Amino acid sequence: MLRLAMTTNSETFERVRGPLADRGIAVDHVQAKERALRVSGGSADSEEFAGFDAGFVYPSRLMEGAVVAARLSVPWVNDREAVLTSRNKAGVLAALDAAGLPTPRTAMVSNPVDEAAVTEAVEPFSYPVVVKPNSATRGVGVATASDLDSLLGVVDYLNLVHDYRATGDKSYLIQEFLPDARDYRAMVVDGAYVGAVERELPPDAVEEGRWKHNVHRGAEATGVDLPDRARELVERTAEVLGIDYLGVDLLETDGRLVVNETNARPTVDAVTKYEPDFYDRLAGLIERTAAGEN
């Protein structure tokens, strides 16, 4: 039986264990953070990292990930490069735009800059605009600004964070706001669309003025059947980025369908929300990765 190392023990871990075991893949958790990791000078914990054939996917914390990857010494479904590629929101949008795929109008600001540079960057936009960190997840730090003064106020807080010398990513995005957009997370496995969910906030949250449709912020994910043009768009997105296992976030409003973000460490939802061959394709990708065919 093929043995797969998974560095998360959250929803995805619990959901995939049974279906993958049915397909000859044993999934075990390897803790990659919030612990002490032996780097050198002995092998007291070597048994913990032994016997794996592949990893799924590279750890979210890249420093710890380098140690865990060295100890495991296995190929990964979505390696460090894939995770880094997807995490860079501006880089993703630039690559997709260059390939002719639809994305929201976006500008990246790299600190430190003065207010004049921010003012110039936002000139092509209409308010409100979205301001977001370039590499955060789960909607963390994302805000809207209704005018230049409020935008500069949000930027002031980002400047405080970026002023800290240990902050690695000192960039952020200014993006057009798409009101009342439907929010989808589509999944691509090994080049093929395998299902999607629509993420929706409850009506009372919308009435209160909330607009971030992140599941981790209270939205509900419902399985949906996306049309061919959306399926083709997400498959093309994965192809352009060169990522085998990818969550693609789509926004749809006023006849527009755009790629908003991607996630190379997407949460797996309930199997009922995906195509019937979801786990067959996922198992096939893991087997090919373990065999060194990626």
pLDDT, averaged per 10 consecutive residues of the chain (294 residues), comes to 91 94 97 90 77 96 94 96 96 98 97 95 96 76 92 92 81 93 95 94 68 65 94 98 97 95 93 94 98 83
Quick one: pLDDT at residue 275? Answer: 95
Q: Which of 3.30.470.20, 3.30.470.10, 3.40.50.410, 3.40.190.10 would CATH assign to domain 179-264?
A: 3.30.470.20
Quick one: pLDDT at residue 218? Answer: 60
Helix (H, G, I), strand (E, B) or coil at 252: strand
Quick one: pLDDT at residue 46? Answer: 78
Quick one: pLDDT at residue 116? Answer: 96
Quick one: pLDDT at residue 141? Answer: 76
What global pTM score does this model have? 0.92
Residue whose entry in the numeric block shows the structure tokens 């955060």: 136
Please tell me the distance from the alpha carbon of residue 136 to that of residue 111, in angstroms, as a whole number: 16
CATH number of 2-78: 3.40.50.20
Please report, as a single letter, which amino acid is at residue 55.
G
b/e per residue 93-124 (b: at least 16 CB within 10 A): bebbeeeebebbebbbbebeeeeeebeebbee
DSSP state of 148: H
Quick one: pLDDT at residue 41? Answer: 73
Instruction: Report residue 36 as tokens.
Output: 């002490």
List the chain domain ranges. Answer: 2-78, 105-176, 179-264
> Within 10 Å of residue 214's Cβ, how many Cβ atoms?
17
Please report, as a single letter, which amino acid is at residue 8.
T
Q: Which helix (H) or strand (E) holds 253?
A: strand 245-253
Helix, strand, coil content of the chain in percent (nearest 5): 35, 25, 40
Helix pair 80-87, 89-98: axis angle to 10 deg: 80
Quick one: pLDDT at residue 137? Answer: 62
Quick one: pLDDT at residue 178? Answer: 93
Quick one: pLDDT at residue 169? Answer: 86
What is the homologous superfamily of the domain 105-176 according to CATH? Answer: ATP-grasp fold, A domain (3.30.1490.20)
The domains spanning 105-176 and 179-264 adopt the same CATH topology: no
Cβ neighbours of residue 93 under 8 Å, at least 6 residues apart? 103, 104, 106, 259
Among 63, 62, 132, 79, smallest CA distance to 264 is for 79
